[in-house]
Structure formats: C-alpha cells, structure tokens
Homo-oligomer: A and B are copies of this chain.
C-alpha cells in the first residue's frame, strides 16, 4: 500500500461530526496505527457514517430492443455445455466489480433453443426467472417440473436442485434471471454444487406445485411445509393480471405505486424467499404516480404497456420488456403514457432483507406537488 498523503479529506464543520485537521504529528500517529492494522476513526467517520444513503448504483435502463439481438447472437457463439448457461448479464455502471444490475442483485437474459436443457445444479444464492418470450420453456425444481409462458415467474430458491430447458416442440425462449449472487457472495456464504447425475428426475406430476399450493386462501391438508421459501414455485401471469384488475376496481391504490401486489408464500403470507421479494404493479391509463424514495434495490421489467419513470430527476422512457433499476434511496415516479391501456411493471428486490433487518425506510417527496422536475431528456 502506498502511504496516504492526507487524512483529513472527510472533515465537516458541524457539531457532532469529525473535524480534525492534519498536522505532522497526527500524520505520524496515523502511520503508526497503520502498522498495527488500525486507524483513527475521526479520519473516516464522516465517510462511513453518511447523513443519508448514497447508492453506488446508477439509475439505468436496458432497452430490450438493443439487447435482444446480442442475446440471440450468443446461440451461435457458445454451446450451453461450454457456457454452463447462455446468459447476457446486466452490469450496472456503478457496480462493475460485483456483476450486479443494482445494489447486490444480479440479473441476466438467458436464451435457450427447443430441445436444449441446462444441467442441474444448486447454490446458496436464490434465483427467480421471469419469462420474456417463446413457448415451451420449463423449469424443474427439486423434482417439480413447471411449464412456463410469457410473464410467468418461477422460483429456484437457495439450496434447491434446478434445471431449465425448452421442449422439443417449443420455440426459442428468452427469460430474465434474477439472483442475489452479489449479496450472498458479499455475505461470504455462497456454495455451489453440480448434480452428480447432471440432470434430475421429474418426481411429481407436471405443475403439481401450482395445483397444490396455488389456490386462493386454501391450503392442502397433510402437506407440511416449513422451508423458508414458498412451495408455490410458479406464479402465472393470467391470475396475476386478473388480481390487479380486480384490486383496481375496489382500491385507489398507492399514490406512489398505483395498484401494486406482492407475490407471497401462501403458507406464511410472507415474501417468496427470505432474500428476494417480487411484485407486479399496474398503472392505469394515463396514471402518473408521485415521487418517493426508500431503501433497498429494485429491478423492474416492463411486463405490459409503455411509459416512463423519473429516477433521481432523470427520465427513462420504457416499452414492454425493457428493464430498469431504482437504486436505494433514489427518488422515483412512474407514468403510464397510454391513453386507454394498463401498464404493468414486474419488480424484484431485496425488500425482504431490508424489512427483516430493520433497515427499511421511506419518504414521499414534499415539494412540487410530489413530482420531480426532470432535466430535459
């Protein structure tokens, strides 16, 4: 390590904050401390105890139109066997070191052709997939096989054996993967295992989890479930969209989020997995929400419609399948620019972590009628 030349970079002239100017004697002292793997708190205190969070992640939108070709191009370039998985991951400009789309969340676009199938593995990272296009995709989780269509969403939780594929009779499929890989790595708790047979057996009737756990407010007798994630591995689009429209009939929703529903574990009413939560929200024709900000990292995919979001004062126009992120404590508001169609935003986040650990906080924008004044786009 090269010696630092100044230690008083973070001084603040505010009562209760560190404000110590470098002197030759102090600098000598700081260098003495370094020899003992130590330092003087007041040289870093104002840095490590900020007044409020300032995310390293940058608000970013990934246009599907731009990425799709590159995703498809990978089919010719690598085999699933060599690549493990053919995935183009999203790299937040502020988070290159950890391959994160936002905060500690990883996301990528995976493509698979009919008849292809990735090998079975498991890891401590939790995962979900959100289907973007194609017919015939399926996922197998611990022996439960699920068929998947556009806007369906499937879990492959921490520790479950899982594999993905596309039926011979299907079409090329693209889906979004979402994982907490960066978080689990940061917690230094990631384990990875390839299935000894490379593939797992389907041990239950197709879509049995949906038929067993997917009823509204009805749980099957004699099916004990105490794992920390939802036994309902698949959340289908049709009943989800239907639920949003029914809710919209009787509720004005939130001024910040319109009509928003959280996917839940039906056994507990809690989040689908301990480290990743997910939601779908509906913006009514012409709806423009007010700005708020909260802690946690959020990655959206446009499931339906078009419009724009303003994030920390910058406008991001979006269309179906575009993906964008809202970093922690970033102001954000959403607009459905369509005159007569709903817009729907799928979102996954680390909200369950923030809630479980007491780190969630939110506030609405008090000025300008609750709306940010975006810079010209």
Contacts and interface: CB of A to CB of B under 8 A. Distances in A.
Interface in A36-82: 36-42, 44-45, 48-57, 60, 62, 66-67, 70, 73-74, 77-78, 82
A131 interface: no
A41 B83 contact: yes
Chain B CB within 10 Å — which of A20, A216, A253 has the most? A216
A186 to B, nearest CB: 6
A52 B182 CA distance: 14
A319 interface: no
Nearest to A239: B216
Interface string A226-252: 001110100100011011001101110
A188 B53 contact: yes
Interface stretch (A101-109, A134-142, A309-317): A101-109
Contacts of A186: 104, 186
A374 to B, nearest CB: 21
**How big is the A interface, by class?**
35 or more
A49 B190 contact: yes
A274 interface: yes
Interface stretch (A168-176, A204-212, A299-307, A336-344): A204-212
Interface in A276-302: 279-281, 295-297
Given A89-B41, A267-B269, A214 B215 contact: no
B247 A220 contact: yes
Contacts of A211: 246-247, 249-251
When all copies of this chain in the complex are counted, the total is 4
A150 interface: no
A158 B358 CA distance: 8
Interface in A153-212: 158-159, 181-182, 184-195, 198, 204-205, 207-208, 210-212
Contact of A181 (B40, B49, B187): B49
Contacts of A327: 188
A356 interface: yes
B188 A274 contact: no
Given A18-B84, A83-B41, A357-B353, A218 B187 contact: no
Contacts of A129: none
A88 B242 CA distance: 40
A322 B275 CA distance: 35
A354 to B, nearest CB: 7
Nearest to A248: B211
Given A56-B188, A275-B357, 19 more contacts: A16-B121, A20-B82, A40-B87, A41-B84, A42-B82, A49-B123, A50-B190, A53-B185, A103-B188, A186-B186, A187-B354, A187-B357, A189-B295, A191-B361, A215-B261, A218-B235, A222-B260, A264-B266, A266-B269
11 contacts: A18-B84, A37-B60, A40-B83, A103-B187, A124-B359, A211-B246, A217-B265, A221-B257, A267-B269, A269-B269, A275-B358
The 10 closest A-B pairs by CB, nearest first: A215-B243, A16-B194, A188-B328, A41-B87, A208-B250, A189-B359, A42-B83, A211-B246, A189-B295, A221-B260
